Amino acid sequence: MTAPEEWIEWAYYFEYPDGARDLTRLASAPWPSKRAEFERESAHGQFRAIAHDDPETRLVFVSRRVTYTPWTDEETS
């Protein structure tokens, strides 16, 4: 049997004082990785540019663990 692969998918969104949410981006790089760190830093920069006049706007990161088991034609006993 092939071993399952596992990674973390993540995204971020802005949450405004009125409760509205703006899903800004699904990240392209799985966490942890150098690319994901770069994307996370970019998110912080974008957030500072957008929310600088409104201290109640929040930047929220969300994630989920993904497990992928490749399909095989092997019979299980």
Residues 9 and 63 sit within 8 Å (Cβ to Cβ): yes
Torsional sign, CA 56, 57, 59, 62: positive
pLDDT tens digit string along 41-70?
888 888 888 777 788 888 888 888 888 888
Read off the pTM: 0.62
The torsion angles phi and psi of 50, rounded to 5 degrees, stand at: -85, -40
pLDDT tens digit string along 30-46?
767 888 888 888 888 88
- Domain segments of the chain as ranges: 5-29+36-68
The three-class DSSP label of residue 57 is coil
